[in-house]
């Protein structure tokens, strides 16, 4: 049995966490003075397209490279994530999913924590809006209406690991498709959409439970009081994901949206792409050239259109405190238990509680600077990062 001590980031109490593969006990820490470091469940990121120079949308990414990218993620406090595959022709989506599933299988065969950390997959698209704006950086040529049979082929290629699908409710077949997803245990998320109020309501009635990066992938101007952002914000049955890099959304949007939604329904995602945690410069993402700029934005070369982010989850947590005016003790849930619950990640939905998976982080927090420094990351009881 191992032990981790620190101040619980949520309760602010000094605790000693006893753990093996799962948390076995949490005791109040008595004597020895107050610990400086905080402890919390490890972060969960429901949308990661690539990281540390490795592209999950490239079927040629090797298992070794994928493992290295996951180890880079560990240094940011992430302990579970959904590798995300975006809009592409069916053969390409299947090839990417197959490659990721084989990597996960190989990690598991060698009992590597990288296998558990890559919890499952998120397919974002291709049944999204073809319109400029809502479509974002997804390739128009590969956008197509929803097809439950195609989903079955993806899930086959993914060895059953697809956990979340982002779809636009503007397609006629969306409610039927969403019902099929939900029936098979997959989370349906609304995103890259220009759907009407009725279409959004029909999607939610069919079982959609979350909005993908709310506020992004939208038209530059919208009708002021009736639009798909308000509709999703006001829909109490939808949780919402936010990209808090300070580039995708202005701080006031998150402050207002998080208050409208309620913190228990807010989720931080990075939507990181391959150049995340690399040096500024030009990179190739699938068929497009992108530039990681000095301000940490990732844009399509030539158009200046955002193509994912170079955000890391520890920075997203800092920004949620800054932008939302939310105390750290409340923000932790937005990167841990909220994504676990909405993303249906088993053993992670209750936080620091005996019986939960021992995915833990120890970190320093400077309240004045709102700065978070990860010192140790533990996945399923194994220390995977120590600084």
Using N-to-C axis directions, what is the helix angle for 251-261 and 313-324, rounded to 10°? 80
**Distance of alpha carbon 254 from alpha carbon 82, whole angstroms:** 23
**Over the Cα atoms of the chain, what is R_g?**
20
Point out the residues that are catalytic.
Answer: 271
Residues in Cβ contact with 328 at an 8 Å cutoff, skipping those fewer than 6 apart: 9, 38, 317, 321, 365, 367
Determine the Cα–Cα distance for residues 97 and 150; give it in Å rounded to an integer: 13
The candidate with the shortest Cα–Cα distance to 78, out of 297, 340, 324, 367, is 340
* Separation between Cα atoms, residue 294 and residue 156, nearest integer Å: 40
Q: Distance of CA 34 to CAs 25, 42, 290, Å? A: 19, 22, 47
Q: Strand 43-48 relative to strand 78-86: parallel, antiparallel, unpaired?
A: parallel
CA–CA dist 269, 248 (Å, integer): 12
Token representation of residue 230: 């308000």
> In this structure, are residues 207 and 175 in contact, taking their beta carbons and an 8 Å threshold?
no
Tell me, rounded to whole angstroms, the distance of Cα 82 from its chain centroid: 6
């Amino acid at each position: 049995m191992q032990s981790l001590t620190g101040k619980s980031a949520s309760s602010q109490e000094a605790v000693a966490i006893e753990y093996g593969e799962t948390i076995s006990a949490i005791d109040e820490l008595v004597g020895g003075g107050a610990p400086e470091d905080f402890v919390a469940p490890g972060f969960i990121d429901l949308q990661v397209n690539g990281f540390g120079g490795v592209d999950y949308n490239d079927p040629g990414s090797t298992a070794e490279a994928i493992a290295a990218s996951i180890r880079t993620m560990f240094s940011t406090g992430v302990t579970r994530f959904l590798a995300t595959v975006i809009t592409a022709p069916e053969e390409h989506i299947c090839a990417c999913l197959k490659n990721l599933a084989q990597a996960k299988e190989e990690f598991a065969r060698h009992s590597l924590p990288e296998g558990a950390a890559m919890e499952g997959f998120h397919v974002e698209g291709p049944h999204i809006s073809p319109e400029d704006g809502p479509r974002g950086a997804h390739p128009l040529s590969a956008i197509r209406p929803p097809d439950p049979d195609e989903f079955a082929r993806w899930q086959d290629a993914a060895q059953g690991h697809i956990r979340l699908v982002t779809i636009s409710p503007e397609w006629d077949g969306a409610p039927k498709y969403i019902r099929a997803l939900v029936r098979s245990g997959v989370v349906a998320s609304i995103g890259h959409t220009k759907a009407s109020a009725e279409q959004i309501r029909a999607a939610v009635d069919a079982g959609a439970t979350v909005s993908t990066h709310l506020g992004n992938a939208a038209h530059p101007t919208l009708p002021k009081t009736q639009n798909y952002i308000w509709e999703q914000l006001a829909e109490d049955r939808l949780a919402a994901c936010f990209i808090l890099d300070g580039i995708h959304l202005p701080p006031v949007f998150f402050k207002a949206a998080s208050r409208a939604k309620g913190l228990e329904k807010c989720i931080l995602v990075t939507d990181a792409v391959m150049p995340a945690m690399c040096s500024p410069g030009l990179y190739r993402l699938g068929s497009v050239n992108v530039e990681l700029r000095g301000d940490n934005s990732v844009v399509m070369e030539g158009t200046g259109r955002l193509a994912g982010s170079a955000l890391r989850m520890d920075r997203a947590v800092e920004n949620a405190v800054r932008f939302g005016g939310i105390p750290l003790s409340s923000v932790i849930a937005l990167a841990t238990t909220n994504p676990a619950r909405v993303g249906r990640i088993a053993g992670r939905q209750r936080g620091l509680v005996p019986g939960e998976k021992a995915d833990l982080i120890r970190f320093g927090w400077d309240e004045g600077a709102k700065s978070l420094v990860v010192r140790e990351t533990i996945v399923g009881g194994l220390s995977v990062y120590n600084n």
